[in-house]
Structures are given as C-alpha cells and as structure tokens.
Amino acid sequence: MPKRKSLGRGLSALIPEGTILVDERGFFFCPIDSISPNPYQPRQDFSDAELTELANSIKEKGVIQPILVSRTKDGFQLIAGERRWRAAQKAGLDTIPAWVRDASPSEALELALVENLQRKDLNSIEEASAYQELMQRFDLTQEALSAKIGKDRSTIANLLRLLRLPQTFQQDLIQNRLTTGHARVIVSIESPSVQRTLRDLIIKKALSVRQTESLAKKLQTQPKSQRIEADHYLNSLAKDLQRSLGTKVTITKQGKKGRIIIEYYSDGEFDRLIDRLL
C-alpha cells in the first residue's frame, strides 16, 4: 500500500502554491462553499438547537479545531467535522480551517466512517449502520472490522443485530425512547407480537433493562405453538381489515387488551377512512 503524505509538509504537494494560504501549523482556511458534505456520514441527527449554540460560539471564538477534508476535482469533500462545517455556515463564515488528507475515494470513505465511529455521541443505530457500511464497502468480516477499528467483535455483532429491528423500533432508539440494552432484549425475541408488547410496556412503564429481561421471559413462557397460533390469527385479521379498508392495519394484543392501528398517508385518505368507519 503506498505511503500516505503527512498532513504538514505534504500540503504543498496537495494544494497548488499561491491558491490557498497555508497556516504555519499546517492547516489552511478553506472556502466554505467549496466543500461538499460527506455522503457516507454515519451521524444523521443534527440538532438545530445544538448547531445554533455552536454557531454562536464560533462567532465569538472562531473554529478551534480544523475540519478534515479530501481534495476532489470540484473542490473538497468533508471527511470529518460536519457539525463544525454546518455551524460555521450558520455563523456566516466564508472560510473554515481545514486539514487536507491525500486519500482515494475509498480511503476517504473509510476514514470518515472510522473517525465518526470514534465519536461518543453516535447513537447505536448510526453506529451499527456505519459498521454495516464498512463491511459491505470493503468486504470485511466482523473479525477484520474488529481489528481495523479496535472494537471487540462481540460488540460489533450485538450492534449489527439491532438493524434487524423494525424501523419504528429503530426510531425509538434514535429518539431515546428505548436504550440499547432494551433493544438487545427485544431483538432476541422471535415473535413480532411479543416484541411489540414488550416495547409498549417498556415505554409505558419506564422499565429498566433488568425488568425488561424478566418480563421478556414471562411473555415467552407461553407454549410456542400457542404463540404461533395467536400471531397467525391476529395477522390474518389484520390482512382482512387491510383488504377491507385499503390501507395498512396492525393488530397487537396484550392479555385481554390490545390495539388496532389503522394508518393513512394523506388528508384525503384520512377523510375516506373516517367516512368508511362511521
């Protein structure tokens, strides 16, 4: 593998002399409008309130830590520092301090994902998605990825399992309605209806992970044949309602109680369903 250029003395080879002023510390002030975002950014949740707070800090003290970019034919692409870049835009800056990393597109992608995985504020779904992206893009096994990023293989495996959860459950994780510990208990359950029941009780009763584990065992003590039969019956009823109403219907049951969820996707469809039900 060819040796990568260092960040300091290598800058002169990366940036044509006279076009960008390089600071004595090795970074340069990059025009903000010449930077494109990282298309493989693992972090998806950028709080507007936090960006505003950071922008106010930047207005007062400037950008303390340079961002990391790679050179492209059209300018630069972010590798790391998207929050700082967004906040600098919000603060009205024209330039931002940046390091240049001489990297091929695949190396830039790997750097971006690995750097973001080292952050402490990625939620578990973002982290799991980043692991999956690395493995798929670079044809890595869990063992190879473990060695590359310095994470235990079992940690990677447990997080990847969370991507098996329904999207609604993943959103619960992202929005802190469920913790990673809760989600690990839920994903270990085979029955979708038991998963849904457990998820609802966790949120409604603010159960701890230990309480969740205990409840999960109780919910699964019912003979498997009975659970399968009950799930099949509820799924059959839901399909009948879907055909009748022309929209997605979900039925969940907990003891003698339960929910029938009828979804709609526009104001017109809402009016149609109300007319039908009334």
Active site residues: 82
H helices present in 139-191, as ranges: 142-149, 153-161, 167-174, 180-187
Sheet with 35-36: list strands edge to edge.
28-31, 95-100, 67-72, 75-80, 35-36
For tokens 């692409």, name the residue.
77
Nearest Cα neighbor of 137 from 116, 166, 106 is 106
Lookup result for tokens 């991507």? 163
Helix, coil or strand: residue 18: coil
Beta-bridge partners for 172? none
Measuring CA to CA, how many Å separate 245 from each of 64, 240, 248, 251, 268?
57, 9, 8, 14, 14
Q: Which amino acid is at 121?
A: D
